[in-house]
Amino acid sequence: MHHFKKMLLHLFFYAIIGQCFFVYAEFFQDLNNIPRKIKVVMDDNYPPYVFRDEEGNLQGITIDQWKLWERKTGIQVDIHGMDWAEAQNKMRKGEFDVIDTIFFTEERAKIYDYSKPYAKIDVSIFFHKDIPGIFNVHSLKGFTVAVKSGDAAIDYLRRNGINNLQEFPSYEAIVKAAKERKVHVAVIDNPPALYFLYKAGILEEFRHSDPLYTGEFHRAVRKGNALLLKLVQDGFSQISEKEFKQIDKKWFGAGQFFFVPYLRYIAIGFGILILTILLMSLWNAILRKKVREKTLENIKEIKKREEERQQEFLRNALLLKLYQMSESPIEQIMDLIVQHCVSTTGSKYGFIGYISDDERLMQAQIWSDEVLRQCAVDGKPVIFPIENAGLWAIPVKEKRPIVVNNYNDPNPYKKGYPEGHISIERFLCIPVAEKDCVRILLGLANKQEPYTEADVFHLSLILEGLWGFIKKKKIEDALKSSEERYRTVIESSNDAITIVSNGKHVYVNKRFYEITGYS
């Protein structure tokens, strides 16, 4: 009996030794499988993430991130950029190890395993300013829509019944065709769209919708290559948040290239002015009065056009800033909007507020700096009833903007000032309505010059963009709150709860530990 127990003990010992041998063998085999070099392919024309410099070298956010990954891991990265459809085709053929700048789609998920997302990208409809009525995917029916070959937007459009598509090798090719008036409607990712429209000098000729959807950039490997995917993700996890922000600041922070197209218009304006002055000196005395009047008229027109272009430039710069602040609180975004609207119009005071669903109350959410300094408000939201309100209630009741350039003129809607209120000379109030219900309201006061229809137009576009951002933000916050609420319910439950996937416990609550004794 003693001999039998001793034999069993020996067998058990050898079994453990054998198991350890196989574990270490597998570990060292994984080490041997780590490559010294990987080949990465991506789109080569997607600013500011990746695009070529004047000498044809790849540059941008994604390139800088991979260079840092190479330094962190010690593994050489061979980066190739090409037209997006060609990049995907060569990746499918096995010519590359990793594909970057790729959106997740159900179809692609059949052949790729994806990394965690690293950038959110809005995708919108861009259309010529002379085309009205385009605001969502269904409004594209009947139009020829330009798209980039291989783009995830193609699947999205076809799923929504939009099949009249014209494919181009790159977004830049689409914008070039738009400048030649061969393209009037396109679905393009917002960052490269804004860049190429600015670069081509046709930004003022195109409008864009609210985002159709928001995609996310990933890195991907061939299906089943878990070791390489882990290698890629582990390498990027070694890059600190500060290092990522430094790269983003390098490409998003300066923004000076957005101003370059306007130098041409400024030069033209000054050129016309100088030429006009020279011609006036040569004209005879009889025509001098008429020439002077015509010159003044031209200068006013030039100034008007320049102001319109400047307003559009500032508006688009603001929208780009909103895109970069997608993770910021809504109040911070609204404060940015109020200060921008006050500054760009030359107003002295401003506020923005929410309108209740029954349109009976207005909650003034954000005040401009000058209001906070001169009025008895502490910066906190203030609720006002609309029924007995004065001029600012007209946009809520009539669903239209109101412009008052002489506040002293008689007006049946005026209710007078409350005690301690600032004196109003000029007033502008713009609503944003959805489904015949006003949602937000912007009020500005005391611009030095009269408020104009151009002010109403530019501010309305900004507010529409803000409301779209607020809706999206509220949905995201509600989803996050719901997830946290359900997690709290599960964690505080008196029942033992576990989630099992493929025969393994992937989640257990606190009560499960208490009942089973597992740790």
Judged by average pLDDT, the poorest of 14-18, 59-63, 487-491 is 14-18
Would the pLDDT of 508 be above 60?
A: yes
CB distance 426 to 450 below 8 Å: yes
Last residue of a domain, one of 306, 324, 342: 324
User: SS3 for 198-224, per residue?
Assistant: HHHCCHHHEEECCCCEEEEEEEEEECC
Among candidate residues 339, 368, 356, the one with its CA nearest the CA of residue 466? 339
- pLDDT higher at 389 or 140: 140
- Token pair, residue 356, equals 């209740």
3-state SS class at 334: helix
| Euclidean distance between CA atoms 197 and 130, whole angstroms | 16
150-173 in b/e form (b: 16+ CB < 10 A) is: bbbbbebbeeeebeebeebbbbbb
Residue 343 falls within a domain, yes or no? Answer: yes
Confidence of residue 190 (pLDDT cuts 50, 70, 90): very high
User: Count of CB atoms within 10 A of residue 326's CB?
Assistant: 14
- AA letter at 126: F
Q: Which domain holds residue 291?
A: 260-324
CB 353 within 8 A of CB 362: yes
CA separation for the pair 105, 215 (Å, rounded)? 10
Of residues 281 and 13, more confidence is placed in: 281
Question: Which residues neighbour 286 within 8 Å (Cβ) at sequence distance 6 or greater?
Answer: none
Share of the chain above pLDDT 90, in %: 46
Q: Which residues pair with 98 in a beta bridge?
A: 40, 221
Q: What pLDDT, on the 0 to 100 scale, is given for residue 286?
A: 76
Write phi, then psi, for 489 (nearest 5 degrees): -60, -45
Structure tokens at 165: 């598509």
* Shared-domain flag, residues 41 and 59: yes
Amino acid 5: pLDDT: 57
Q: What is the mean pLDDT of the chain?
A: 84
Task: Give residue 400's pLDDT band: very low, low, confident or very high (50, 70, 90).
Answer: very high
pLDDT surpasses 80 at 424: yes
Quick check: 342 and 426 in contact, CB under 8 A? no
Phi and psi, residue 135, nearest 5° = -145, -15
Residue 191 lies in a domain: no
Task: Average the pLDDT over 248-276 and give the result.
Answer: 65
Same domain, 88 and 231: yes
What token pair was written down for 192?
Answer: 């490269």
Residue 152 binned pLDDT confidence (cut-offs 50, 70, 90): very high
- Report residue 407's pLDDT band, with 50, 70 and 90 as the boundaries: confident
Whether 25 has a pLDDT exceeding 50, the answer reads no
The per-residue pLDDT for 428 is: 93
Among the ranges given (80-89, 142-151, 256-265), the one the predictor scored with the smallest mean pLDDT = 256-265
Asked if residue 205 has pLDDT above 90, the reply is yes
Mean pLDDT of 345-359: 89
Regarding whether 455 and 406 lie in a shared domain, the answer is yes
| Per-state percent for the chain, helix, strand, coil, to nearest 5 | 50, 20, 30
232 and 247 fall within a common domain: yes
417 lies in a domain?
yes
pLDDT band of 263, cuts 50, 70, 90: very low
pTM above 0.75, yes or no: no
Return the pLDDT at 266. Answer: 58
Q: Is residue 47 part of a domain?
A: yes
Q: What is the mean pLDDT of residues 370-392?
A: 76
Q: Output the pLDDT for position 289.
A: 73
Does 147 fall in a domain? no
Q: Which residues contact 123 (CB under 8 A, 6 or more apart)?
A: 153, 156, 187, 188, 189, 190, 211, 212, 213, 214, 215
What's the confidence (pLDDT) of residue 13?
60
- How open is the CA angle 170-173-175, to the nearest 5 degrees? 115
368-375 mean pLDDT = 74
123 lies in some domain: no
**pLDDT at res. 23:** 42
Query: Residue 129, class by beta-carbon neighbours within 10 Å (0-12 exposed, 13-18 middle, 19+ buried)?
Result: exposed
**Final residue in a domain of this structure, among 453, 470, 487:** 470
- Band of pLDDT at residue 454, cut at 50, 70 and 90: confident
Residue 141 CA to residue 365 CA, distance in Å, equals 39
> Which CATH number belongs to the domain containing residue 232 in this structure?
3.40.190.10
Q: Choose one of 431, 455, 470: the last residue of a domain.
A: 470
Domains in the chain, number:
3
SS3 170: coil
In this prediction, residue 67 carries a pLDDT of 97
Q: Which residue has the higher pLDDT, 487 or 75?
A: 75
Q: Peptide bond preceding 48: is omega within 30 degrees of 0, i.e. cis?
A: yes
CB 453 within 8 A of CB 482: no
Based on the fold, state whether residues 299 and 374 are members of the same structural domain: no
DSSP state, 108?
G
Tell whether 365 and 466 lie within a shared domain.
Answer: yes
For residue 442, is it within any domain? yes
Does residue 256 have a pLDDT over 50?
no
In angstroms, the CA 116 to CA 102 distance is 11
Residues 311 and 342 in one domain: no
Whether 293 has a pLDDT exceeding 70, the answer reads yes
Do residues 375 and 243 share a domain?
A: no
pLDDT at position 257 is 43
Asked whether residue 61 carries a pLDDT value surpassing 90, the answer given is: yes
The answer to whether position 212 is within a domain reads no
- How confident is the model over 30-48, as pLDDT tens digits? 445 689 999 999 999 999 9
Of 231-235, 301-305, 327-331, the one with minimum mean pLDDT is 301-305
pLDDT at 12 over 70: no
Residue 264: what pLDDT? 54
Whether residue 441 sits in one domain with residue 391: yes
The pLDDT value given to residue 129: 95
Report which of residues 250 and 412 the model is more confident about.
Answer: 250
- Report the pLDDT value the prediction gives residue 255, as an integer from 0 to 100: 46
d(CA 284, CA 295): 15
**Same domain? 320 vs 336:** no
Looking at residue 10, what is its pLDDT?
A: 56
Residues 225 and 305 in one domain: no
Whole-angstrom Cα distance, residue 348 to residue 449? 11
Is residue 1 scored above 80 in pLDDT? no
- CA dist 63 to 43, 68, 364, 388, Å? 11, 9, 45, 59
pLDDT greater at residue 418 or residue 54: 54
Whether the predicted pLDDT of 138 surpasses 60: yes
User: What is the structure's pLDDT at 201?
Assistant: 96
Q: Would you state the pLDDT for residue 19?
A: 59
Helices 330-345 and 453-491: crossing angle in degrees, nearest 10, is 170
8 A C-beta contact, residue 195 and residue 48: yes
Q: Tell me: do 394 and 314 sit in the same domain.
A: no
